[in-house]
Amino acid sequence: MDFFFVSVVLILACAGAGCVQPSEEEAEAQLCRDLDELGVALENMENISVGSSVGDIRDGRDQVQSAMESVRSSADQVANIRVDELNAAYEDLDQTVQDLPDDATVVEAIQTIRPEIQAVRDARQNLTAELNCTGQ
């Protein structure tokens, strides 16, 4: 009886702590949603208005960073998915934004980061195609 009680308590504690792994389909669906959010964050970052500042671009990068963290977390739950290309492209974008001079104009800044944003978009698109994400 004690063994049964302890087993039930451990199972419930594990379920409450998130020990239950999602199915492969659920994990892939979550990764697709997170990749979609990354696409939105990239679009927001690129569509900053001329009246904005480099600080606004850095804020946009923070939104992209948050989306990337979600993608990485979701990708950890999916078997045989490699996000190396996406990680590398994001790291290049992040470094380019960090290197922007504070006195750069928004036009200059956007022209500087546009190739890196496109590289992240391309890597994101490759991953969505590999996963067969719908509506992406």
Hey, what are 82's tokens? 């490699």
- pLDDT, tens digit (0-9, with 9 covering 90-100), for 53-112: 888 899 999 999 999 999 999 999 998 888 999 999 999 999 999 999 988 888 889 899
Question: By C-alpha distance, which of 38, 25, 29 is closest to 123?
Answer: 38
* pTM beyond cutoff 0.95: no
Residue ranges per structural domain of the chain: 25-131
Gap between the Cα atoms of 22 and 13, Å rounded: 17
Gap between the Cα atoms of 78 and 30, Å rounded: 10
- Provide the sign of the torsion angle of the four alpha carbons 84, 90, 91, 92, taken in this order: positive
CB 74 within 8 A of CB 30: yes
